[in-house]
Structure 1
């Protein structure tokens, strides 16, 4: 294990970052196909409708899809920031209801492969961010890669999206096991997605808690039950968020309910509410894993 060489640059970035209080929420899941990005984007818009300044970080650098799902044009992305060609403010794209999106790349190297200098560049980029925000939603990659674990560990709240499939439940359990055992994450917020009824969502949550209660020292909270909704698919074909295209559809109402809960989740005190703390934790977790 070796530490990165840019310690001075990082320390400067962390010291100079805007000291605004920012809530950082990671939206994750053990596997792909559970609707994680859909939940992230629609939650972001629901929060924006409640008056919050929301930014979405597409944290899957190799398989970015936030912009594609919304039909947004991207001229520059996070790779241009890491190379020094643009600032973070330069690459932000505007989404519906005033949300801001930090676009990643598609078909490029994964964030798990970033060099130490690029991690330092990521910190500097956030330290220079001038766009004000209240909530940063991190749409992680699928699976249990080092970077998924790092983002989840560094965030103040971890939301795990699960659907009623054996592989989804198994993979969500594996993710929570690693985060709790190796990274000290003890609380998880669960979204039961694409369920046929409220009862099915509660049964799905019960399946998960039966396993975690037996084998893990964690607490789970069911924060949303999002029904299977044909309008979600229709909105996707239009490259629109369903909360924009069909604001009264059941899935939209479920995400609006989740947003009302999320704005009441307590803000952390002191430095842990600042973006520099999030990034410091992110880099430190990479050091702990022996990646940097």
Structure 2
């Protein structure tokens, strides 16, 4: 574990209105890119029922969040070190119970992770796709929400739906948008503008920011097949350069002054062991 440093950790939730938009790929590569910038980074796989962060990184967990929640181990037992020194908290795949945690279990899980706060600069949370309570809880708990969208009607529609629920039900006032699998920056900006127009028409209580565009290239596909982050395997590729620029922007974000949420989620060191029943 890295040496302790005072001050709260920046938390970044990576989410998407639907599956298949590249959310987990961005989360993995963003975490590794931040690690390469010297940021002490923890990557939390919060897609609790269909976890794949460990697969994307070619890691083999000894235990997962399923064992943590069951009380069979502590947070230190499931941490894995990934590329550039990042720490990974793997979730379990194919366990229906993990996708149906109670609100108390969600809060407890977040607080368990918060016990690592003094050893981190950044927490990257890979949420599930959709509108379930897990997604909303982790987005609400984070200082920054990054929404991944691609240029297809279902992605845009579902992205808008998620933005609306986050704004009206969870008090999220700002969402960063990453346009993924686009031909170039112009197409990415056009996609972002589509989403902005819909939100401006129907939502007055949300601010959107275009964080960047990631081009679709064969290097990214090959890196996924090799179970390696593209920012390490092919750093000169268009997708890797785009993600590195996104990481550079997020590294410049100001650290939060205090936690957010009813129990200050990621910042209260309430629990050092398992999740409450």
The answer as to whether partners of 2:14 and 2:148 remain within 8 angstroms in 1 is: yes
* Partner of residue 46, structure 1: 33
Secondary structure at the aligned position of 1:106 is classed as coil
The answer as to whether partners of 2:106 and 2:137 remain within 8 angstroms in 1 is: no
Deviations 1:209-265 (A, max 9, x none): 110011112111101111111101111111111111101101111111011110111
The 1:62/1:132 distance shift into structure 2, 3 A limit, reads same
1:178-189 paired onto structure 2 within 5 Å: 178-189=165-176
The 1:20/1:112 distance shift into structure 2, 3 A limit, reads farther
* Partner of residue 241, structure 1: 229
CA drift of 1:112 comes to 4.9
The 1:145/1:273 distance shift into structure 2, 3 A limit, reads closer
Root mean square deviation of aligned Cα: 2.4
* Partner of residue 76, structure 1: 63
Write the distance in 2 (CA, Å) between the matches of 1:222 and 1:120. Answer: 30
Write the distance in 1 (CA, Å) between the matches of 2:192 and 2:117. Answer: 40
Secondary structure at the aligned position of 1:75 is classed as coil
Deviations 1:160-216 (A, max 9, x none): 000111100000000001111112111110000110011100110111111001111
Write the distance in 1 (CA, Å) between the matches of 2:102 and 2:147. Answer: 28
The answer as to whether partners of 2:92 and 2:98 remain within 8 angstroms in 1 is: no
The 1:107/1:263 distance shift into structure 2, 3 A limit, reads same
Asked if 1:208 corresponds to 2:179, the answer is no
Write the distance in 2 (CA, Å) between the matches of 1:127 and 1:223. Answer: 26
The answer as to whether partners of 2:57 and 2:228 remain within 8 angstroms in 1 is: yes
* Partner of residue 152, structure 1: 139
- Which has the larger helix fraction? 1
Deviations 1:121-164 (A, max 9, x none): 52563365487111001100011111101111111000000011
- The answer to which of 111-120 and 137-146 deviates more is 111-120
Gaps of 5+ in 1: 1-17, 282-291
The 1:238/1:86 distance shift into structure 2, 3 A limit, reads same
Secondary structure at the aligned position of 1:141 is classed as strand
* Partner of residue 20, structure 2: 33
CA drift of 1:280 comes to 7.5
Alignment counterpart, residue 244 of structure 2, candidates 256, 259, 263 = 256
* Partner of residue 62, structure 1: 49
Which structure is larger by alpha-carbon Rg, 1 or 2?
Answer: 1
The 1:117/1:213 distance shift into structure 2, 3 A limit, reads closer
Asked if 1:227 corresponds to 2:215, the answer is yes
Write the distance in 2 (CA, Å) between the matches of 1:197 and 1:27. Answer: 21
Asked if 1:161 corresponds to 2:148, the answer is yes
